[in-house]
Structure 1
């Protein structure tokens, strides 16, 4: 049973996060409940910033990849810590702006941005648009012409690197819906085309090779390929790339066997590649951007559930049903994601039986953890699932008309409600008879 280092157990044998007793949190705010350790998030943000300052002499910016967890309070934390933000939709952009986030430090991604989204982004003076395709360049150029503006663009490049991760979260290879590939020439052609559009300013290149990656080698290879491409653009188009966005994808520890590298080590090793390649190719050192998301919030979060029905099918499987499931965490049903868990109200008990923790949705695949080794779980126990800070709330749904959970941030023994629990009234507010 894996318990993250930022959690502890108190004298009542209760699980503690951010100085708060999780059993008390469940009583006060109800379950299911997302709980985020604010200090853990801020510490991770500072570690990235300090590493960037150390290995790139401050010539860069960390962008919070907010698709991992997009709430107004998360943008507030990122802003206070001096980060920029990566957004992928009009909704994320709107949330960031409503939180007071500086639009100049927002980078707008997406493989199919709509006209309305791009018009909104340009109207709000978003810092960079990460262009995915030539059609998008035409739309941006048209909107800018109407508004009398110039948009700074980066290009989403597929470097052709296999990151050895799940196919649904691999994005750097040629067979991906994102961006343009180097190997078939389309990346070069889109930069050449952008140069002809008078309302665009070419700012740089972007790549992202996938998510939940544990190896340093794919990142180093991608960096090398991107500098080689920057050299080609400089030599053949006369365009000097001023920014290089290396994306994110850094893995976290979900279960005991996961072995993510230290993020500082990643930044150091990739910086060596970039510095060497730039020097050898006579390329000006670009402004470096990185987009951590999961690695900032993933292991900072837990989800608390109340156990309900316990169904022991002799010689087959023992099911423990909780009061949430795929509605608040769809990652298992989407791609078999693995988690670990503890009994929050009996945190130090020995794990001596194997159970499958399942949700309450009308789907056989509504599983949170299959074959989890746990202490004996009784109805009414509080089950804490670890490392749920990323891609749980942000991917949550109202399937079966379930209300999405509340979210609290904890720090120094105090909890603060930052996302209210949905009500039945919320479920029907857009319905029309």
Structure 2
């Protein structure tokens, strides 16, 4: 099996005449088709809404594409709230899921009419202070503790996560909020990351649906919405089978009927908060091979580095690589593909089998559409790359320019030492 780039070598050669590498590029057609599939998979739920995780790809061009597809935005900071507001999102089209939150951010979220998703019971008083009174709609983030396991062995460790409240705390929180005038309630949970299985969402949904029944019985509250959050992943390696979003939707509907409807709870809206699933496969980082080194290992040096994509350096994460124009050649060489940072973990691939790479070849790094550009930084004085959009008609548009030295120097304020660079 192999991953197929959404760009050809000829297209890249055309693009670099205007935009030198490295750059991130996104596939508009793929994004729209994927959003359509998600909406179809959950069309059985009349209140369904995807709240795209802005942190995955905070670009207004991408956000507006998703807005046209019916998505809302999930924000975790003041800047993400401001970005969503600037893109025309307002009211219940914004979910604010934050932790250790400054008071002014709760206040601004409330001014926008966003749904505030509380991370802790102690935040009730904090939000009340920020907003004057609690909003009519509130959500709480659920953390059952322990570990989360599925039949194929995939698991995560909610008990070690800093996020969310215990079930008992949510019961107490809802009773407090109900007494303070809150009318509409939601629950939210994120218990496993990047699962490549159709089992995760239905299992999580069943646990949340059963908790919703408990809330009804103990608080007299029928939750208005249940946010399954993220966690539906993508196949980073070529041998993995992708999730089937239609099977996932059917699985959630099955437990919805078995748990909620069977207990007289109807018309509960299902929300999702997907970032990686929505954008991951529809973005790529394209970089040029500029050096080769033959020492104890074979190295190919490229013009991108970990500041452009930090997941491999930070997590040891796998991203598949294609050498454009050589996709059909035999992968009979073993390389480390490395960037220029003064850190030995600045490697996009280690001991990777690839076809022979020559200086001047373009390497397409797959699946960078989420948590790619957004996790960039400026270590070693490196500058963030441009972001491009491959539009549905085949033309390419710059949707964020590359940083310049002027951007890097602009926040300094001392004795005009850098004037010659800022002019």
TM over 0.5: yes
CA distance in 2, matches of 1:149, 1:192: 13
Match among 389, 414, 422 for residue 403 of structure 2? 422
Shift of 1:27: 3.0
1:110 alignment counterpart: 98
Q: Aligned residue pairs: how many?
A: 410
Kindly provide the CA deviation profile for residues 374-393 of structure 1, in whole angstroms up to 9, marking residues without a partner as x. Answer: 11112222111111111011
Matched, 1:275 2:257: yes
Residues 33-69 of structure 1 show CA distances to partners (whole Å, capped at 9, x for unaligned) of: 001001100111111111111x32x331122122110
Separation in 1, partners of 2:7, 2:127: 50
Q: Which residue of 1 is the match for residue 64 of structure 2?
A: 76
Q: Aligned equivalents of 1:66 and 1:164: distance in 2?
A: 27
The counterpart of 1:25, out of the listed 10, 15, 30, is: 15
- Within the candidate set 173, 185, 191, 2:158 is matched to 173
1:98 to 65, 86, 89: 86
Unaligned residue ranges in structure 2 (runs of 5+) = 415-423
1:289 aligns with 2:289: no
Task: Give the superposition deviation at 1:170.
Answer: 7.7
1:342 to 322, 326, 348: 322
CA contact (8 A) 2:25 2:388 kept: yes
Cα distance per residue 1:360-410 (max 9 Å; x no partner): 110001111112221111222211111111101110111111110001100
* Counterpart Cα distance in 2 of 1:27 and 1:370: 30
Counterparts of residues 332-371 of structure 1 (less than 5 Å): 332-371=312-351
**Aligned-residue offset at 1:240:** 1.2
Q: Return 5+ residue gaps in structure 1 as ranges.
A: 16-20
Q: C-alpha deviations, 1:315-348, integer Å up to 9, x for none? A: x421111112110111012211101111224443
Residue 264 to residue 91, structure 1, CA distance change in 2 (3 Å): same
Instruction: State how 1:118-197 maps to structure 2 within 5 Å.
Output: 118-126=106-114, 128-145=115-132, 150-160=135-145, 162-163=147-148, 173-182=158-167, 185-197=168-180
Contact 2:104 2:130 survives alignment (8 Å): no
Say whether residues 1:395 and 2:375 are aligned partners.
yes
2:194 to 193, 204, 212: 212
Q: Deviations over 1:45-104 (max 9, x none)?
A: 111111111x32x33112212211011111111111111111111111111111222343
SS at match of 2:213: helix
Q: Secondary structure at the match of 2:289?
A: strand
